[in-house]
Structure 1
Amino acid sequence: MNDDTHVLDSPPSGAAPDWTIDQHWDRYTPEEHATWDTLFARQAKLLPGRASNAYLRGLDVLKLSKPGIPDFAELNDRLAGLTGWQVVAVPGLVPDDVFFDHMANRRFVAGNFIRRPDQLDYIQEPDVFHDVFGHVPMLADPVFADYLAAYGRGGRRALGLDALQYLGRLYWYTVEFGLIAEPEGLRIYGSGIVSSFAESQFALDDPSPNRIAFDLARVMRTEYRIDDFQQNYFVIPSFDELLRLTVETDFAPLYEELKALPGIAVATIEADDVVLTRGTQAYAAAKV
Structure 2
Amino acid sequence: MAEHVLDRPPEGAAADWTIPQDWAAYSAQAHATWDLLFRRQSAQLPGRAAEAFLRGLDVLRLSKPGIPDFEELSDRLAKLTGWRVVAVPGLVPDAVFFDHLANRRFVAGNFIRRPDQLDYLEEPDVFHDVFGHVPLLADPVFADYMQAYGEGGLRSLSFGALHKLARLYWYTVEFGLVREAGGLRLFGAGIVSSHGESRFALEDDSPNRIGFDLERVMRTRYRIDDYQQSYFVIDSFEDLLRQTVETDFAPLYARLEGASDHDPADLLPGDAVITRGTQAHARGRAGRAPL
> Partner of 1:179 in structure 2?
177
SS at match of 1:144: helix
- Aligned letter for 2:251? P
In the alignment, the residues of structure 2 paired with residue 284 and residue 23 of structure 1 have an alpha-carbon distance, to the nearest angstrom, of 38
The whole-number CA distance in structure 1 between the counterparts of 2:64 and 2:209 is 39
Match runs of 1:127-276 below 5 Å: 127-276=125-274
Structure 2 CA distance for aligned equivalents of residues 233 and 40 of structure 1? 24
Q: How far apart are the structure 2 equivalents of 1:63 and 1:48?
A: 17
Distance 2:111 2:284 in 1: 34
Equivalent residue letter for 2:212: F
Shift of 1:184: 3.5
Q: Distance in 1 between matches of 2:158 and 2:107?
A: 22
SS at 1:252's partner residue? helix
Is the aligned partner of 1:36 residue 2:34?
yes
- Identity among equivalent positions (%) equals 70
Q: Describe the SS at the equivalent of 2:209.
A: strand
| TM-score normalised by structure 1 residue count | 0.98
Q: 1:115, 1:194 → 2: CA distance?
A: 16
- Which letter maps to 2:121? I
Give secondary structure in 2 for the equivalent of 1:287: coil
- Partner letter of residue 72 of structure 1? F
**Match 2:101 to one of 103, 115, 134:** 103
Q: TM-score, normalised by structure 2?
A: 0.97
Aligned to 2:18: 20
Gaps of 5+ in 2: 287-291
Q: How far off is 1:232 after superposition?
A: 0.4
How far does the alpha carbon of each residue in 1:80-134 deviate from its partner, in whole angstroms, 9 at most, with x for none?
A: 0100000000000000000000000000000000011110011111100000000
Aligned residue pairs, count: 286
Letter in structure 2 aligned against 1:48: P
User: Residues of 1 paired with 2:237 and 2:70: CA distance?
Assistant: 26
Measured after TM superposition, the shift of residue 183 of structure 1 is 2.2
- The separation in 2 between residues aligned to 1:262 and 1:113, in whole angstroms, is 38
Deviation digits for residues 39-94 of structure 1 (CA, Å, limit 9, x no counterpart): 00100000000000010010111111111000001101110010000000000000
Equivalent residues in 2 for 1:81-120, closer than 5 Å: 81-120=79-118
Matched to 1:236, the amino acid is I
The whole-number CA distance in structure 1 between the counterparts of 2:188 and 2:280 is: 23
Runs of 5+ unmatched residues, structure 1: none
Deviation of 1:286 after TM superposition, in Å, equals 1.6
* Match among 47, 68, 79 for residue 77 of structure 2: 79
Moved segments of 4+, more than 3 Å: none
Cα deviation for residue 210 of structure 1 reads 0.4
